[in-house]
Structure 1
Amino acid sequence: METMTRLFAGHRSLWLAFYGCVLAAWAALFAMQVREVPASLQVDGLAYLISLCRTTAADAGFRSALVMWALMALAMMAPTAFPAFRTFAQLSRTAGAGAAPLAALLGGYMLVWLGFSVVAALLQTRLAELGLITDLGQSVSAPLNGGLLLLAGAYQFSTLKEACLNACQSPMTFFFSHWQPGARGGAMLGLRLGAICLGCCWALMLLAFIAGTMNLAFMGLAMVLMTLEKLPAIGTRITAPLGVFLILTGAVALLLPLTNSIN
């Protein structure tokens, strides 16, 4: 009980709802990959989610792609920010506030990632129209693969990435610097925190077009990497090596087809 109290910092019902939504998003992403549904599970909601992946990425359209990217954002990005959410919960609880500021913070954070989902869905539908990705959102273009890998690798060494990552790794400092009381303040802090998190992770998220936007293994690995990057003791040790790895992999992705064509 004491461990649960330290972990959730009050507002247990809100935390349970939060993680319930995250688990539901993972379950929905898994269900969307199922091709044959048992008759006992053929309910409208599940059938709709599965139908999103039964057409090609081009035929699915923007709305279906948006649903998928929004689920990915909730499943992957919300858990990476849990240390910041917990820090805010502890601060607001000390200030005697109820659950409303925390709920507003969570809402503001996810609103930013919903905006990213809109952009990613537009990008996916355009790539599909150009024939650059498969039915499952996986790139078939060596230049696109290499370009995304080089972009993500180079961004690991950018000053913007460093600034955003420093803020994510020091949530207490971030909240003290930008504190605003009440639910409205929580929403504004959530938007700011979401923007900072987006600044850390957008390039890594776009690598889904290489692994496949419906690749659960990639989603899980990316979530773990982005979570570790936000931990001060670990993040400083993996950001640069990850950048080097992505740059080298991108160079190979670009040069290998040229080598094969020469041979």
Structure 2
Amino acid sequence: MARLRNVLWLGFFAAVLWAWWVLYSMAVGMDLDLIGRPGPMGEAMRRMDPRMDMYMPMAEFLPLFWMWALMMAAMMLPTLVPTLQSYEDLIISADGSRAGWVGIVLGYLIIWLVFAAVIAGVQLALLFGGVIDMLGIATSPLAAGGLLLVVGLYQFTRGKEICHGVCLSPMGYFLGHWRTGFSGGLRMGLGLGAYCVGCCWGFMALGFVGGVMSLLWMGLATLFMVVEKLPQVGQYVTRPMGCVLVIAGIAVMIWPLTTGG
């Protein structure tokens, strides 16, 4: 049993590292640095018109979905660790199982893959609407600042509070929705994934502010979402981050006015 536990955890973290490596390789291939700033080739890509009669991966649904799916694995699987640790306790004290553990991970991933499909479609709509460029970077301070403002204000809403409460205390969710075996774990994973999307969707959407392939944004967003779900400190960081995002959004929108840009 201990050997199976180690194999599952090693596979879990190997999947996370693999996703990050592929994303890094993609960023290098797009000629982006750590913060998503394009080099000469990337600048040329930004200026491309998505309506051009030629194949451009960032203007097609499947490549975008693949990119977002990798980002979901790289950024969201680490935030699942506290939840899986809570389930580990139930394997010992209740009738949890390794099959249930696998079911939770799978159910969680399914929900985030659905979200990846949705946000890939949103990116295409924003691209063809001229709101973002080919690299997923907002084309105007109004769009970037508005998104920062919306995500910041969401941190103060009842919806965020409810979803964050589940993410912060997965044991309470398990006790109220307990199911056994793989199918039970899958059902619980789907529920947990839905609450997690409700909690974290905004930080995924913030990729459109600085570029969805910015490794710096991905790293910082992942770190914050992990911290936000830690029982000891999570409840103390949500609203302060909301304040930071609101201030940043207002600053981004008014900066061109103050500089005459």
Q: Same fold (TM over 0.5)?
A: yes
The yes-or-no answer on 1:180 pairing with 2:171 is no
**Does the CA contact (< 8 Å) of 1:25 and 1:75 recur in 2?**
yes
- Using the TM superposition, name which of 93-102 and 113-122 deviates more: 93-102
**Which residue type is aligned with residue 176 of structure 2?**
S
**Does the CA contact (< 8 Å) of 1:92 and 1:101 recur in 2?**
no
- 1:112-127 equivalences under 5 Å are 112-127=111-126
**Does the CA contact (< 8 Å) of 2:65 and 2:116 recur in 1?**
yes
**Does the CA contact (< 8 Å) of 2:19 and 2:74 recur in 1?**
yes
- 1:26-37 equivalences under 5 Å are 26-35=20-29
**Does the CA contact (< 8 Å) of 2:95 and 2:180 recur in 1?**
no
| CA displacement at 1:156 relative to structure 2 | 0.5
- Secondary structure of the residue aligned to 1:34 is helix
| CA displacement at 1:189 relative to structure 2 | 0.1
In 2: Cα distance, 1:241 partner to 1:32 partner: 33
| CA displacement at 1:55 relative to structure 2 | 6.0
- 1:130-141 equivalences under 5 Å are 130-141=129-140
Q: Summarize deviations over 1:164-188 as a string: whole Å, max 9, x none.
A: 1111111211111110111111000
When the two structures are aligned, how many residues end up with a matched partner? 239
Q: Summarize deviations over 1:53-97 as a string: whole Å, max 9, x none.
A: x96684321111101100000000110111101211331344455
Question: 1:218: which partner in 2?
Answer: 217
TM-score (norm 1): 0.84
Question: 2:243: which partner in 1?
Answer: 244
Percent identity between the two aligned chains: 40
**Which residue type is aligned with residue 203 of structure 2?**
L
RMSD over aligned Cα, in angstroms? 2.2
Question: 1:153: which partner in 2?
Answer: 152
TM-score (norm 2): 0.85
Q: Which has the higher contact order (CA 8 A, sep 6+)?
A: 2
**Does the CA contact (< 8 Å) of 2:69 and 2:116 recur in 1?**
yes
In 2: Cα distance, 1:216 partner to 1:87 partner: 30
Question: 1:23: which partner in 2?
Answer: 17
In 2: Cα distance, 1:131 partner to 1:159 partner: 32
In 2: Cα distance, 1:232 partner to 1:87 partner: 11
Runs of 5+ in structure 1 lacking a partner? Answer: 37-53
- Secondary structure of the residue aligned to 1:214 is coil
